Amino acid sequence: MSDLAHLKIWDDRAIRDTLSWYLDVAENRRPAKFRIAATLSPEIDPVTSDEDALWAELDRLTPIFLGRWEAIRAGAPLPATTDGLSLLEVCRELVYRMLAHCNFCPWNCRVDRMAGAKFGACKLASASRVSSHFHHTGEELFYRGTEGSGTIFFTSCNMRCAFCQNGDISTDKDNGEETDPRTLAAMAWTLRHEGCHNINWVGGEVVIHLHAIVDAITLLGRDFTPTQAELRRARKTKADRLFWFDDASDKALYEGKFNAPMLWNSNFFITLESMKILRVLTDVWLPDFKFGPGRCAMTLAKTPWYWETVTRNLALIADWGEDYSIRHLVMPNHVECCTYPVLKWIAERVPAAPINVMAQFHPDNFCDPASDKYRDRYADIARRPTPAELEKSWRRARELGLKFETTTFERCDTLGMPALLNM
């Protein structure tokens, strides 16, 4: 057992119950979903089939996949990987078909990103750029563990949050390095071989890079080993490349093949089509739930259909029996309109979910008065939340019986005192 499984945070039953698959995969007691997907043979040739046939094949294979996943959860052995193509290639072909009339997210821009002549709301063609990748030690304890979360940061976004705390990469689509799927797979491979507990796909927003990520995961499910040239390319964006990490190759394998939980760290502004593909590849989900059902998603993030999309997707992963935790960032002057309805919805619809009710909002991007980008219309969020706003948010979460305290206060208690021993 690694240090991750020894952490005291697993004593919290809500966390242990909701993240048990993730922990088993992180510990290599179980194969990641992409390894299971690699064992399922399609009845069609994914490469030559049209998109309708691919969707029908995904619909046919998904219940078979879920039956196999359940059996493996219960201790059944992993069947052999297919000799030919598999459910992985069905997913890969589908995302490239979607890219030609992009509907990865609800903007449903329908632009041909392969051609790259017109751009949608994310401003991207088919190329993906990575800003940085590294052992992230700032994520929730069950993700960062002792060795870090293997985080890969992509550029650009499909939302326009005025307060974005990652504005340098979400608003600058040209940040970082252009990265092909083999280089992406090399990044994930390296991070896991250095001991990271998971591969954390994040941005900006990740769904706008769905094709590149699914392609990279497909490679990882197909005995991918990076070449020296690919490792060198990957290293260009490795923010912690000057640090020394022990070789943890023995912790990157299940039955002798690459294994790692895939963590989908997203704003959850995602179409149902994208969700259906991610279902067979994602081991643990980390969605943001930012805005209430009123106008705030429009006024602060220029995002229509926010509430209905994010609540639909949250309900889906709960009903699908997925592993997940939720993040909610408390915003100044938005406790009544955003925090309260978000917490109420969670209590009514997904009460078992671990939640991080976060206090770290600071004025950034277009709501930072010290920045040239500052706009007066964001004056109501141009400050940190007050202690009173935070306290009433946490009080409401407590009154609703939400599972938030272990996750929210694992670094410090509500008075800011360091938490007691984590291990």
What Rg do the C-alpha atoms of the chain give, in angstroms? 21
Angstrom distance (rounded) from CA 286 to CA 204: 14
Residues found near ligand SF4 in the complex (CB under 6 A): 102-105, 107-109, 111, 120-122, 124, 158, 208
Which distant-in-sequence residues (6+ apart) come within 8 Å of 105 by Cβ?
121, 122, 158, 205, 207, 208, 269, 270, 271, 274
> In terms of CB distance, is 85 or 105 closer to ligand SF4?
105
Torsion of CA 275, 280, 281, 284, to 10 degrees: 70
In the complex, the smallest distance separating the C-beta of residue 410 from ligand SF4, rounded to whole angstroms, is: 33
* C-alpha pair distances (Å), 267 with each of 57, 115, 206, 366: 28, 26, 8, 19
In the complex, the smallest distance separating the C-beta of residue 119 from ligand SF4, rounded to whole angstroms, is: 7
Residue 286 φ then ψ, to 5°: -130, 80
Q: Are 120 and 102 in contact (CB under 8 A)?
A: yes
Angstrom distance (rounded) from CA 14 to CA 18: 6
> In terms of CB distance, is 102 or 191 closer to ligand SF4?
102
> In terms of CB distance, is 123 or 392 closer to ligand SF4?
123
Q: Which residue is nearest to ligand SF4 (CB)?
A: 120
> In terms of CB distance, is 42 or 106 closer to ligand SF4?
106
The per-type count for the chain, helices as H runs and strands as E runs, is: 17, 10
> In terms of CB distance, is 134 or 291 closer to ligand SF4?
291
> In terms of CB distance, is 104 or 134 closer to ligand SF4?
104
In the complex, the smallest distance separating the C-beta of residue 111 from ligand SF4, rounded to whole angstroms, is: 5
Angstrom distance (rounded) from CA 297 to CA 253: 42
Q: Strand 199-202 to strand 177-178: parallel, antiparallel, or no bridges (unpaired)?
A: unpaired
Q: Are 123 and 105 in contact (CB under 8 A)?
A: no
Angstrom distance (rounded) from CA 394 to CA 415: 12
The amino acid sitting at 21 is: W
In the complex, the smallest distance separating the C-beta of residue 220 from ligand SF4, rounded to whole angstroms, is: 23
Q: Tell me the HSE value of 120 on the side-chain side, using a 13 A CA sphere.
A: 26
In the complex, the smallest distance separating the C-beta of residue 207 from ligand SF4, rounded to whole angstroms, is: 6
> In terms of CB distance, is 101 or 257 closer to ligand SF4?
101
Q: Tell me the HSE value of 328 on the side-chain side, using a 13 A CA sphere.
A: 30
> In terms of CB distance, is 186 or 208 closer to ligand SF4?
208
Q: Are 186 and 233 in contact (CB under 8 A)?
A: yes
> In terms of CB distance, is 303 or 365 closer to ligand SF4?
303
Number of neighbours of residue 257 by Cβ within 10 angstroms: 17
What H or E segment, with its residue span, contains residue 136?
strand 129-136
> In terms of CB distance, is 103 or 146 closer to ligand SF4?
103
In the complex, the smallest distance separating the C-beta of residue 241 from ligand SF4, rounded to whole angstroms, is: 30
In the complex, the smallest distance separating the C-beta of residue 112 from ligand SF4, rounded to whole angstroms, is: 10
In the complex, the smallest distance separating the C-beta of residue 342 from ligand SF4, rounded to whole angstroms, is: 23
> In terms of CB distance, is 111 or 234 closer to ligand SF4?
111
In the complex, the smallest distance separating the C-beta of residue 121 from ligand SF4, rounded to whole angstroms, is: 4
Handedness of CA 395, 290, 10, 141 (dihedral sign): negative
In the complex, the smallest distance separating the C-beta of residue 23 from ligand SF4, rounded to whole angstroms, is: 31
In the complex, the smallest distance separating the C-beta of residue 116 from ligand SF4, rounded to whole angstroms, is: 11
